[in-house]
Structures are given as structure tokens and as C-alpha cells.
């Protein structure tokens, strides 16, 4: 994939920490730079030319992102600072009480556990030893649930969940569905209409966009809910007697938003659409294939599905006898950057009965030879620690 020239930072080393955050291409940075150099002003409130230009660009960015996620109406898109904020907002809009049952899975990131744990009764669907949702357990747990919230793809196992089917099953039981798409949107085609969920959260910074960007897709049913962040921009009118909330999406975006970030977010989505999400996926599968091939002699223990069709371009693993932090530290000394620890998924590590794991997560700019380099150093670590 001929994109490496767009990422000058790649000269710093082999970057395999893309599930945490991705690098940003020159085109995205240029779009943000151009916005601040030539158009900067606050949106929606000014009569002057710059404010109009900013407002147009801000709304256009939502049109681009609605195309990226297959949403028919750009007004269903609410900007948030990351998927975490999106999931918190979804939890707020669902107006839960301690009596309400919310179903999540064993493979959640903390961001899809905590917003539910604090204000409802959480029931957890188990996973198989290969890290796939136990469908029988899912069927049984969703009975009586008000909400089902699950990841499209796991940030540790890489598992791609059958969210279309699972959403349909949850809806049939009368539950609302929230999808954490933080780990899928950067890597696969995400189509909110096909999935059919009520809410879907994405982090922009994991898909080439600047930090502090993300979105929550909100279905029409919730467009008149009371906002979470109250303030400027969220109302048509306020008097001492009444509040008249603005329409979606403004009512859910209190205060001046991250306008430059939104411009960059949209440019990142365009960049990915120019490559084509099918090509992004193909490239990552080729890297995964190489990883699994290089591990034929089981140098490392891999977690998650072994079928590449069922996983995104990340591999969590442990090198037997060596702590994941030591693996990451040693790799760092060779300019290879991976993640280690529990990846904000403590319950999942408990479920897998492991104290921690190392994680190599790939993206469009990684190469087959970088994966080979990783294995060369992993072999070296094995030698040194034996």
C-alpha cells in the first residue's frame, strides 16, 4: 500500500500500536492547518463570512462522515471527543435506572463497561475459548434487557462480532442496541443502516484523525432526548420560565465544538474512502497472515480467533515466560512500538486467566517486512530471557 510517504513519523520506528491511536497523514494535518489559516471562526452564531464558512465546513464534515458510516441523514451524527464519550452519551440518552438490565460481553473495553455499571444492572455474555461471543448465552441473557451494548470488534482479541445478527436478536427482545465501533471503523466497512443499531460510537483518532475527535450515531427515536452537556448551542430559546431545546445534532453538542478536529476527522474518512475500506481490510489480513505464518512454531501464544475472517488486524499475545511489559520494553529498544498490559480490559484478562498481554495492532502503513522484524526481535527476546 503506497501510503507511507504520507506519514513522516514512520521514520521514528515500526508503529504497531494502532489500536491505541493511529498516526495522522499529511493530508489530514493540511486540512486542519488550512482551516485555521483561512477559515477559522465560531460556527452557527455569526453573521460574518468566516463564521458562515466555518459552519459550512463543519456541516460538510458530518456529511462526509455520514457517507463513511452509511448514515442516510448527517443530522444523526453527534460529535464527541472519542468513543468513550460517545458511549457515555448513549448511556445518558437511554435514561437508565438501577432496575434496568443492560447486557454487555466478556470482551469489553472499560469504556463499554463503566457507563453501564454505574446506573443499571449489568449482565455479561460469555465468550468461547477462541474469544467469540457464546450465542446461546447471548440469547438467554438478552431476555428482559433494556439495552444490549457490545463491541463491533474487540480491542484485545480482534474478534469481529456479528453485530448485524446480534442487533436483530436484541431488537426482537425489545432491547435498544449500542455498538462500540472504536476498533472496527478504522479497519472495516461499517454500515449503520445494515447493522441497525440505535447508537454507534467511533473514535476519530484511531482512524487517522486528530486527537479529541469521535462521533456517536444517534437514531431518530432519541433525537428529542434531554442533552447531557447543557449550554451554548443546545437551545433555540431560554427564558426564565422555559427551555426550548435545539434539534439534533446541535442539542447534543454543548459549547463550541472541536471544529478543526471535525475538519480533520472528515479528511481522514475521505482518505480512507479513497483507499477503499475493502483494500484496508485486505492489507491488514495480509499482515495477519504473515504474523500467523511466522508463528507456525508457536513462539508466542495468541489470543482470539485463529480464523482470520473473524479478526481485525491486531494480535494480542504472550511470549511464554516473559512479561508483556518486558517484551514491549525490549521491542522499544529496537524501535518497534507495541502495547502491553491489560489494554483497559481487566475483566477480559481475568476471563482469559492471564495477568497481561502484548498487542501488535496493524494499519495501512505497516508492511510485511515490519512483521518479520517483529518476529526477529521476539526470537531474540526469547533467547535473552531463557
User: Looking at the annotation, which residues are catalytic?
Assistant: 344
Burial 273-299 (b: 16+ CB within 10 A, else e): eeeebeebbebbbbbbebbeebbeeeb
Binding mask 307-346 for another protein (x = CB under 8 A): ---------------xxxxx--xx--x------xxx---x
| Comparison of 246 and 377: residue with beta carbon closer to another protein | 377
Buried b (16+ CB within 10 A) or exposed e, 77-89: bbbbbbbbbbbbb
Residues ≥6 apart with Cβ < 8 Å to 10:
4, 23, 365
Nearer to another protein, 211 or 341 (CB): 341
- Cis previous bond, 25, omega within 30: no
Contacts with another protein by CB under 8 A: the residue count is: 18
Nearer to another protein among residue 196 and residue 341 (C-beta): 341
Name the minimum Å distance from CB 346 to another protein: 8
CA 135, 218, 313, 63 torsion: positive or negative?
A: positive
* Cβ pair 26, 8 in contact under 8 A: yes
SS3 247: coil
Rank residues 120 and 324 by Cβ distance to another protein and give the closer one: 324
- For the CB of residue 319, give the shortest distance to another protein in the complex, in Å: 12
Minimum CB distance to another protein smaller for 105 or for 324? 324
Q: Is the dihedral of CA 170, 171, 176, 179 positive or negative?
A: positive
CA 192, 231, 233: angle at the middle one, nearest 5? 60
Report the alpha-carbon distance of residue 299 to residue 382 in Å, rounded: 8
Q: Which value, to the nearest 10 degrees, does the dihedral of the CA atoms of residues 94, 97, 101, 105 take?
A: 60
Closest CB 332 distance from another protein, rounded Å: 8
Binding residues for another protein restricted to 366-385, rule: CB under 8 A:
384-385
Residue span 93-122 as binding mask against another protein, x where in contact by CB under 8 A, dash where not:
------------------------------
Least Å distance between CB 322 and another protein? 8
Q: Between 215 and 336, whose beta carbon lies closer to another protein?
A: 336
Cell numbers at 140, concatenated: 438467554
What is the nearest approach in angstroms of another protein to the Cβ of residue 343?
10
From candidates 62, 251, 349, 359, binder to another protein by CB under 8 A? 349
**C-beta of 167: minimal distance to another protein in Å?**
33
Q: How far is the CB of 355 from another protein (least distance, A)?
A: 3
Per-residue three-class SS string for 277-317: HHHHHHHHHHHHHHHHHHCCCCCCEEECCCCHHHECCEEEE
Nearer to another protein, 32 or 322 (CB): 322
Give the other-Cβ count within 10 Å of 21's Cβ. 18
Site for another protein contains 353 (CB under 8 A): no
- List residues near another protein by CB under 8 A: 322-326, 329-330, 333, 340-342, 346, 349, 354-356, 384-385
Amino acid at each position: 500500500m503506497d501510503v507511507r510517504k504520507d506519514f513522516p513519523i514512520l521514520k521514528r520506528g515500526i508503529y504497531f500500536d494502532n489500536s491505541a491511536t493511529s498516526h495522522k497523514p499529511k493530508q489530514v494535518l493540511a486540512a486542519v492547518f488550512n482551516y485555521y489559516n483561512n477559515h477559522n471562526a465560531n460556527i452557527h452564531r455569526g453573521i460574518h463570512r468566516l463564521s458562515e464558512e466555518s459552519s459550512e465546513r463543519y456541516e460538510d464534515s458530518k456529511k462526509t462522515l455520514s457517507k463513511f458510516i452509511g448514515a442516510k441523514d448527517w443530522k444523526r451524527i453527534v460529535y464527541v471527543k472519542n468513543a468513550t464519550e460517545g458511549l457515555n452519551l448513549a448511556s445518558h440518552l437511554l435514561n437508565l435506572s438501577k432496575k434496568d438490565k443492560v447486557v454487555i460481553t466478556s470482551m469489553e473495553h472499560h469504556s463499554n463497561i463503566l457507563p453501564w455499571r454505574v446506573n443499571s444492572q449489568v449482565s455479561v455474555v460469555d465468550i468461547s475459548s477462541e474469544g467469540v461471543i457464546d450465542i446461546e448465552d447471548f440469547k438467554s441473557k438478552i431476555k428482559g434487557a433494556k439495552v444490549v451494548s457490545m463491541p463491533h470488534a474487540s480491542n484485545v482479541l480482534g474478534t469481529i462480532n456479528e453485530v448485524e445478527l446480534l442487533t436483530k436478536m436484541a431488537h426482537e427482545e425489545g432491547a435498544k442496541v449500542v455498538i462500540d465501533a472504536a476498533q472496527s471503523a478504522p479497519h472495516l466497512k461499517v454500515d449503520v443502516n445494515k447493522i441497525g443499531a440505535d447508537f454507534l460510537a467511533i473514535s476519530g483518532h484511531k482512524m487517522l484523525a486528530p486527537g479529541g475527535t469521535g462521533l456517536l450515531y444517534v437514531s431518530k427515536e432519541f433525537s428529542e432526548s434531554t442533552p447531557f452537556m447543557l449550554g451554548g448551542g443546545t437551545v433555540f430559546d431560554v427564558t426564565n420560565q422555559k427551555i426550548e431545546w435545539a434539534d439534533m445534532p446541535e442539542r447534543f453538542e454543548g459549547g463550541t465544538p472541536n471544529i478543526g478536529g471535525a475538519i480533520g476527522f472528515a479528511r481522514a474518512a475521505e482518505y480512507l474512502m479513497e483507499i477503499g475500506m475493502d483494500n484496508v481490510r485486505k492489507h491488514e489480513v495480509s499482515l495477519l497472515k504473515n504474523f500467523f505464518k511466522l508463528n507456525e512454531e508457536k513462539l508466542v501464544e495468541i489470543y482470539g480467533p485463529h480464523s482470520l475472517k473473524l479478526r481485525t488486524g491486531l494480535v494480542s499475545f504472550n511470549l511464554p515466560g516473559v512479561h508483556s511489559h518486558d517484551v514491549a520494553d525490549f521491542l522499544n529498544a529496537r524501535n518497534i512500538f507495541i502495547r502491553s498490559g491489560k489494554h483497559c480490559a481487566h475483566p477480559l484478562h481475568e476471563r482469559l486467566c492471564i495477568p497481561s498481554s502484548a498487542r501488535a495492532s496493524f494499519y495501512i502503513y505497516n508492511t510485511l517486512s515490519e512483521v518479520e522484524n517483529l518476529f526477529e526481535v521476539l526470537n531474540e527476546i526469547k533467547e535473552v530471557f531463557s
